[in-house]
Amino acid sequence: MNPLERAGARPGPAFEVTFDGRPIEALPGRTVAAVLWAAGITSWRTTRGEGRPRGVFCGIGVCFDCLVTVNGRPGQRACLVPARPGDVIRTEEGTGRAH
């Protein structure tokens, strides 16, 4: 039994976002990080110095490991930004250069 079934949750209908041009299904109420995780994507930024992959570290908006560009706005913390229908999400290099 998955957590949604266990809680008896009935989220609204799924919608689509894109990540680096790839369509991804999202459920209402999820953050960008949760949507990416659910799609099997665990890394969406690289570090400035050595280009090492990063994703969610703290999950509560304290660190800056989960930065993404959302709808052209770089430096968004994926763990805090709610996903919205049609969002265009892109990976980042270092501290804010979308690629």
pLDDT tens digit sequence for 9-28: 677 899 999 999 999 999 99
Position 51 pLDDT exceeds 60: yes
pLDDT-based confidence at residue 40 (cuts at 50, 70, 90): very high
The percent of residues in the chain predicted with pLDDT above 90, rounded, is: 58
Whether residue 23 contacts residue 31, with contact meaning beta carbons closer than 8 Å, is answered with: no
Domains plus CATH for the chain? 16-98 (3.10.20.440)
Per-residue pLDDT, 62: 86
pLDDT at 6 > cutoff 90: no
